[in-house]
Amino acid sequence: MLTEQHKLSIKIIMKITITDPDYEVSIESTEGDVNITQATEMVRAALVGVGFHPDSVAAHIPSEEELDDIIADILNSL
C-alpha cells in the first residue's frame, strides 16, 4: 500500500500541432488536466495560427459562449 509520500503524481500536458506546407503551429497547455473546453480553444487558436479566418473557425467550431448565444437566439425566435 502506498503512503501519502509515495503516491505517484501524474501531470497531463496537452500539445496540439497543426502543420501545412507553409506553416506549423504548436500550442501546449501550461496547466495539467486540460478539459474539453480548453482543448477546443487550443484547436481554435491553432487553426487561426495557420491562417484560417477567426470568423470561419468560430462558425465551424463555436466556443461555449457562442453556442449559448446560438441557442438563446433560436429559443428567442420561437
More confident of the two residues 4 and 30: 30
pLDDT digits 0-9 by tens, 14-61? 889 998 888 899 988 877 778 888 889 999 999 999 999 999 999 999
Contacts of 18 (CB under 8 A, 6+ apart): 24, 25, 46, 47, 49, 50
Nearest to 29 by CA among 18, 17, 47: 17
